[in-house]
Amino acid sequence: MPIYNFLCKDCKKEFDIAVSCYDLIPKDLFCPDCKGKNIRKKFSRVGLIFKGSGFYSNDKNNKKVKNEK
């Protein structure tokens, strides 16, 4: 199960919970600090990794040409 970051709008506490993909915001979710139910899911950035050639500025000048016969 993925872990999502939530924010309690009452006490401004951030917390992480493993949540099922089918139930993105569970109905019984509450803040572990103040027990409030005014919860919002926070969105975060996704890390990307580019692998292979062609992603860097120094790759464009190093094109290999195959000899055709």
The reported pLDDT for the residue numbered 8 is: 93
CA dihedral for 58, 60, 65, 66, sign (positive or negative): positive
Q: What is the pLDDT of residues 23-36, one digit of tens each?
A: 666 678 889 899 98
Tell me how far apart the alpha carbons of residues 38 and 22 are, in angstroms, rounded to a whole number: 21
The reported pLDDT for the residue numbered 51 is: 73
Q: Are 9 and 39 in contact (CB under 8 A)?
A: yes
The reported pLDDT for the residue numbered 67 is: 57
**Low-confidence stretches of the chain (pLDDT beneath 70):** 1, 23-26, 52-69
Tell me how far apart the alpha carbons of residues 65 and 62 are, in angstroms, rounded to a whole number: 9
